Amino acid sequence: MTREQQREYRRQKIREQRRREREAWEAARGPMDLPFLLLALILLVIGLIMLLSASFPSAQASESCGYDPLYYFKRQGAFALLGLFAMFWVSKINYQRFRGLARIAIVLSFILLILTPIPGIGIWRNGARRWLGVPGTSFQFQPSELAKLGIIVYFSASIAKKREKMLTFKNGILPYGLMLMAIAVLMALEPHASGMVLLVGIGAVMLVVGGIDWRWVAAGLTAGVAGGYLLLFTDLMEKIGYNSDRITTWRDAFWDPTDKSFQMAQSLIAIGSGGLLGLGLGKGRQKFMFLPEEHNDFIFAIVCEELGLVGATLIMLLFALLIIRGYWLAIHAKDRFGSLLIVGVTTQIALQTFLNIAVVTGLIPATGISLPFFSYGGTALAIQLVEVGVVLSVSRQIPAPKSG
């Protein structure tokens, strides 16, 4: 057999394998999970409405927005439509194909994270270099958003193959620990502490679900609790000189209400002003140049002000139902890879939601994490919808319950 014949033979084998995979996918594919889809869409619609309400005063007063009150809403709406198209497209793909993209995804994530802190490449804004953009356009994105998806896909594909090997330090802890440490270092160079916490948190949860030895889990929890105590309840942060004002603000939101604790003070004022039933949609006052980042990280404060405790609780309930449904789908997934994919996506949504609301309400120090489906950020929203599509793709192959 000549070399050309060998290549043709290999191509035929690849085509045949793909044909069998396609036939198996078509035979196994069922409807996407409707509850998860509806919950995600409801949160998306409410998020867009609240973004419009929270952003129109600052957009109307901003020269960079062209004094257009709909500026943020229109841009977010465009990315929402793009994300919905991508979500339904991804939901129709056999999720097993994502295995082949795992290495590409993690390598691309590292390349983008390496480029971000470099002066002249990364975009400097608000005291940090966390963005990349296309020269000559207004398009900008945070590579950390893509890295979340890269971590989820790569960890899922890698952990799914190892099974019992995950119990060993060499296979279950070392490679993933080094990878998470490298990501943490790159994020610290930006600096982007909130993104670092989120990415490491997603990876850690996936390792726990992947089956690492519980002794390492206990050691990690102990180290986390000890580190949190040292940072929050001692003067260690002051000695280091890094973000000590955030710790002081967490302890007393009104210690410097005209300067360093201004944002937190205004957030609590907004929440308190909402009371039980809120001031009414669109009738909030803190968004009129009082509360910074009212359409971004602190949008939940506007939710509380305008919809009150009742409305904010209903939104938190929707998030809780989405997260619970996600983990239910993970438990019932067809295989280990699909289960890990859903765990990664659901954990990301859960961590972001908890951390954002905890910051806005003063439960934990400020971290700068956005609220999924609500906070302004087109790239982040589009990627979140793509991740919803990944979950729906896995849900299509969940075996139907046996009758009788």
The amino acid at 288: F
Strand partners, 122: 119
312: Cα within 13 Å, side-chain hemisphere:
24
| Interatomic CA distance for residues 376 and 275, integer angstroms | 25
pLDDT in tens, 68-88: 999 999 999 999 999 999 999
Q: What is the DSSP string of 15-60?
A: HHHHHHHHHHHHHH-----HHHHHHHHHHHHHHHHHHHHHHHHHHH
Start-to-end CA span in the chain (Å): 56
Q: How would you class 340 by CB atoms within 10 Å of its CB: exposed for 0-12, middle for 13-18, buried for 19 or more?
A: buried
Our CA angle for 263, 266, 270, nearest 5°, is 135
Structure tokens at 152: 């989820």
Structure tokens at 121: 């490449």
Q: How far is CA 39 from each of CA 253, 373, 374, rounded to the nearest angstrom?
A: 34, 11, 14
> What is the pLDDT averaged over residues 95-109?
91
Which pLDDT belongs to residue 404? 46
Nearest to residue 127, comparing CAs of 184, 192, 72? 192
pLDDT in tens, 172-230: 888 998 999 998 888 888 877 778 888 889 999 999 988 888 888 888 888 878 877 76
Q: What is the DSSP string of 196-254?
A: HHHHHHHHHHHHHHHT--HHHHHHHHHHHHHHHHHHHHSSHHHHHTSSHHHHHHHH-TT
Question: What does pTM read for this prediction?
Answer: 0.88
> What is the pLDDT averaged over residues 291-319?
95
Ramachandran sector of residue 118 (left: φ over 0; alpha: ψ -120 to 50; beta: rest): beta
Q: Look at 28-32, 43-47, 140-144, 322-326 and tell me which has the smallest mean pLDDT.
A: 28-32
Rounded to the nearest integer, the mean pLDDT of the chain is 86
Which pLDDT belongs to residue 361? 93
| Interatomic CA distance for residues 274 and 7, integer angstroms | 69
Sorted by where each begins, the domain ranges of the chain are 32-395
Structure tokens at 166: 């995950």
